[in-house]
Amino acid sequence: MNIHEYQGKSILQAHGVQVQEGFVAETAEQAGLIAEELQKKFGTEIFVIKAQIHAGGRGKGGGVKIARSPMETAEVASRMLGMTLVTPQTGPAGKLVRKVLIAQDVYYKGDSDIREFYLSVLLDRKRSAFVVIYSTEGGMDIEEVAANKPKAIFTEVVDSTCCLHEFQMRTIASNLGLQGKAYREMVRFISGLWNAFVSSDASLMEINPLLKTSDDRVLAVDCKVSLDDNALYRHPELAAMRDLNEEDPTEVEASASNLNYVKLDGDVGCMVNGAGLAMATMDLIQLSGGRPANFLDVGGGASAKTVEAGFRIILKDPNVKAILVNIFGGIVRCDRVAAGIIEAYKTIGDIKVPVIVRLQGTNAIEAKELIDTSGLKVIAASTFTDAAEKVREALA
């Protein structure tokens, strides 16, 4: 699960990691009040207004702006709220801005000895280890640095004790070219960030830019955080940070019905039980000349209701030209799935695309009988190759 910058920063702060002061606003009026508050409490003179969307590159897309008074802050916020922000990461459709973060400007006036770094902690699946990736070339596209100046990117691998050692933190601070107070602040920053990462079961915490100010403070100016979905049950307060507005609506609907659904951009919808069989089915679709429109695992205990929910979700996608149902009845009984398909046909009504059904395993014979006598236009397939052939015919 991804969260917003302002939420990520609250996790960091709870672990003593320095970030600039700031608060989130949903209206221009709130934005103005926050700016007044920052002015009173911290003497802030320049305010930064930052669009809160689940995508990076906001700076480039006009989602990060400066204001010099609370009134101007409110004006800028009123323009930013409700706009569709397009950044290199949102795709051409962009994302609607519903919240803005009002923060202190941390690039003080006349600041010459200021440095922007990149630093992220993440799970490296290839290495089966956590790693800290960091660079002196922060603030801009890290992908660009990786492509053009790979030597400017360093990696510190966390060993099997799953503990980032103090000597590693010192190595990082030293490789970033820091001395004295800034060096100590950096070690403290990394130690806090590592604690925040571990205790929130995160899979990514990316700080870009990580700023060293002219008075040698070290703070997170931006932060992108991804949390491990499988561990969210341990953190109800983090699970509550989920913002459904930022997620694909069909995927949200599917997860509400306990379906594992991932939208893809092909033309053959598929409904399968079990992730392994679902992967094999997607290969099968590809082999038959189609392209999978989705991944959908209805799980081991598929009921008539789940099958119906699955059909509804697949049919929402206008690209779908055929649907392949591939069920192996192990725990689930095929006749129950067949009843679900028939039920779905009746309640959804007009299903125009051809539906190819392969039901194998427990009660497969009863299932076939149910489908054959239902009078519905369902194409029954017996083997994998047979199913592939019938998908090919349906697409022709």
Which residues contact ligand ADP by CB under 6 A?
Answer: 20, 48, 50, 56-59, 64, 103-107, 139, 208-209, 221-222
Rounded Cα gap, residues 62 and 48, in angstroms: 12
Q: Applying CB under 5 A, which residues contact Mg ion?
A: 208, 222
For ligand ADP, the closer CB: 104 or 168: 104
CB of 9 to ligand ADP, least distance (A): 10
Residue 94: which of Mg ion, ligand ADP, none does it interact with, CB under 5 to 8 A by kind? Answer: none
Out of 5, 6, 118, 246, the active site residue is 118
Closer CB to ligand ADP, 106 or 307, in the complex: 106
Which of ligand ADP, Mg ion, none sits in contact with 290, Cβ below 5 to 8 A by type?
none
Closest approach of ligand ADP to the CB of residue 149, in Å: 18
Q: What's the token pair of residue 271?
A: 């409904």
Q: In whole angstroms, how close is the CB of 208 to Mg ion at the nearest point?
A: 4
Task: Tell me whether residue 106 or residue 173 sits nearer to ligand ADP (CB atom).
Answer: 106
**Partner from Mg ion, ligand ADP, none contacting 221, C-beta within 5 to 8 A by type:** ligand ADP
Q: Which is nearer to ligand ADP, 88 or 301 (CB)?
A: 88
The listed partner (ligand ADP, Mg ion, none) that binds 57, CB under 5 to 8 Å by sort, is: ligand ADP
We find the least distance from the C-beta atom of residue 107 to Mg ion, in angstroms, to be 14
Residue 13: CB minimum distance to ligand ADP, A: 14
Nearer to ligand ADP, 1 or 219 (CB): 219
- Interatomic CA distance for residues 364 and 357, integer angstroms: 11
Nearer to Mg ion, 56 or 329 (CB): 56
Secondary structure string (H, E, C) spanning the chain: CEECHHHHHHHHHHCCCCECCEEEECCHHHHHHHHHHHHHHHCCCCEEEEECCCCCCHHHHCCEEEECCHHHHHHHHHHHCCCEECCCCCCCCCEECCCEEEEECCCCCCCCCCEEEEEEEEEECCCCEEEEEEECCCCCCHHHHHHHCHHHEEEEECCCCCCCCHHHHHHHHHHCCCCHHHHHHHHHHHHHHHHHHHHCCEEEEEEEEEEECCCCCEEECCCEEEECHHHHHHCHHHHCCCCHHHCCHHHHHHHHCCCEEEECCCCEEEEECCHHHHHHHHHHHHHCCCCECEEEECCCCCCHHHHHHHHHHHHCCCCCCEEEEEEEECCCCHHHHHHHHHHHHHHHCCCCCCEEEEEEECCHHHHHHHHHHCCCCEEEECCHHHHHHHHHHHHC
Is the bond leading into 209 cis (omega within 30 degrees of zero)? yes
Which of 5, 137, 185, 206 is an active site residue? 206
206 is a catalytic site residue: yes
Cβ atoms of residues 292 and 268 within 8 Å: yes
Decide which of Mg ion, ligand ADP, none touches 7; Cβ closer than 5 to 8 Å per partner kind.
Answer: none
- Residue showing the smallest CB distance to Mg ion in the complex: 222
Shortest CB 207 distance to ligand ADP, Å: 9
Distance CA(365)–CA(380), nearest Å, equals 12
- Binding site partner of 74, from Mg ion, ligand ADP, none, Cβ cut-off 5-8 A by kind: none
Place of tokens 């930013």: 80
Residue 139 binds which of ligand ADP, Mg ion, none (CB < 5-8 A, kind-dependent): ligand ADP
59 or 94: whose CB is closer to ligand ADP? 59
Name 23's bridge partners: 102
We find the least distance from the C-beta atom of residue 59 to Mg ion, in angstroms, to be 7
List the catalytic residues. 118, 206
